[in-house]
Amino acid sequence: MSRPGRTAPRVWWPLIALAALTGFNLLWTDGFARLGLDDGVLRGPVVDVVRNAAPLVIIAVGMALVIATAGVDLSVGSTLAMAGAVVAVLLTGPRWGPVPAIAAGLGAGLGIGLVAGVLVSGIGLQPIVATLVLLACVRGGAQLLTDGRTVSFQDSMVLALASGHIGAIPVPVVVAGAWLVGLVALVRTTALGLFLEAIGDNPVAARLAGVPVARVMMFAYVVAGVGAALAGIIVAADIRAADPTTAGKAIELDAILAVVLGGTALAGGRFSLCGAAVGAVLIKLLDTTVVARGVPAQATLVVKAGVVLVVCVLLSDRFRAALLGGLGRR
């Protein structure tokens, strides 16, 4: 890898946490290890976890780019709902075909990302304010679009985005994997990744070095918007309906958490897309584990918070230095 190791984010810690939690489940959760081919299709609890994590992975990867610029995108949950609503309405109302409907859904995400980018890098609003406005306004727009109702649809090609398989692998997993690999390739072979990190590290210095700061920030928000839309279409396909009121509610918080768990600091600069993806899977596995262990529903959030706290503490340089220092002195 040409990635400089010394200053790279610590993608190892979330991976270790993921491995530990997987190990725990393999040992103590009944049937977790079940994995098999059924009609030439991979099935089992592990597959379900990854498949369910796919929308969050897609969103978290986009969020990582935004956070790298020292911003944040709170509008992803609303964008998710909007994209689902656009696709559902176009399929059922004017009876558009699946391909143009999906394109329109993704286009909505792109548009929302552009608006966020303009508000932040063009007008100079604080990211948290700009995207908070969009969070409210886009969800409102989605509700207007469907008249506040849940719109069901039955297009087989769109449904396949959630329930289909390519070879033995579920389509959402393939889509999320392609999204991740594609973005990593784009960002790390071109200078975009370097520019994003430079902007997050010191926007003044980046500008004086000739980096097109506004355009690179725009790119980050557009990717986050398109990613949220893609996730929204998968989520809608999963339940065969677009629910503009509850779809993607609070998913921005899980996405931010995934990015942080993946070793990207909210202060911006160094980022890791793979880390964000690992973080997203970790969060989903945690959700599954809590349910599978029979933890009462009321307690799930508390358990989740505890595990997340442990990983974040492990990510802290100061904590590790203190720990290693303490051990070294013995």
Partner 1 sequence: MTQAPTLRASGIVKVYPGVKALDEADLVLHGGEVHALMGENGAGKSTLVGIIAGAQRPDAGEIHLDGLPVSPSSPGHARGLGIRAVHQELTLLPHLSVAENLAIGGYPSRAGVIGWRAVRRRAREALAELGLSIDPRRPVGELPIAIRQLVAIAREMQGEARVLILDEPTSSLDRTETERLFEVVRAARDRGVAIVFITHFLDQVYEIADRVTVLRGGRVVGAGRTADLPRLRLISLMLGRDVAERESRLAGRNGESEPAEEASAPVVCARGLRRGRALRGASLEVRRGEVVGLAGLLGSGRTELARAMFGADRPDAGQLAVDGRRRRLTPRRSSRLGIGLCPEDRKSQGLCLGLSVAEGLTLAMRAKRGWWRPLRRGERQEIVGRLTRDLAIRAVDSRAAVGTLSGGNQQKVLLGAWIATNPRVLLLDEPTRGVDIGAKDEILRRVRSMCDHGLGVVFISAELEEIVRACDRVVVMRDRETVGELRSGEIDEHRIMRMIGAERRA
Instruction: Point out which residues bind partner 1 (CB under 8 A).
Output: 2, 4-7, 189-192, 194-195, 197-198, 201-202, 204-212, 216, 269-270
Are 67 and 266 spatial neighbours (Cβ–Cβ below 8 Å)? yes
To partner 1, the closest distance from the beta carbon of 320 in angstroms equals 17
CA angle 290, 296, 298 (to 5 degrees): 100
Nearer CB in complex with partner 1: 88/206: 206
Closest CA to 86 of 228, 256, 212: 228
Contacts of 262 (CB under 8 A, 6+ apart): 9, 11, 14, 60, 64, 272, 274, 275, 276, 277, 278, 279
To partner 1, the closest distance from the beta carbon of 118 in angstroms equals 19
Q: Is 184 exposed, middle or buried (0-12, 13-18, 19+ CB in 10 A)?
A: middle
Phi-psi region of 296 (alpha: psi -120 to 50; beta: other; left: phi over 0): beta
Nearer CB in complex with partner 1: 108/220: 220
Nearer CB in complex with partner 1: 85/199: 199
To partner 1, the closest distance from the beta carbon of 119 in angstroms equals 21
To partner 1, the closest distance from the beta carbon of 163 in angstroms equals 37
Nearer CB in complex with partner 1: 205/313: 205
Distance CA 146, CA 247 (A): 13
To partner 1, the closest distance from the beta carbon of 272 in angstroms equals 14
Nearer CB in complex with partner 1: 192/292: 192
Nearer CB in complex with partner 1: 186/313: 186
To partner 1, the closest distance from the beta carbon of 148 in angstroms equals 41
Distance CA 275, CA 262 (A): 4
To partner 1, the closest distance from the beta carbon of 267 in angstroms equals 9
How far are the Cα atoms of 81, 138, 283 from residue 144, in angstroms, in the given order? 12, 10, 32
Nearer CB in complex with partner 1: 22/264: 264
To partner 1, the closest distance from the beta carbon of 208 in angstroms equals 5
Distance CA 112, CA 121 (A): 14
Contacts of 103 (CB under 8 A, 6+ apart): none
CA angle 243, 178, 44 (to 5 degrees): 70
* Phi/psi of residue 241, nearest 5 degrees: -165, 155
Nearer CB in complex with partner 1: 27/208: 208
Q: What is the 3-state secondary structure (H, E, C) of 71-135?
A: CCCCCHHHHHHHHHHHHHHHHHCCCCCHHHHHHHHHHHHHHHHHHHHHHHHHCCCCHHHHHHHHH
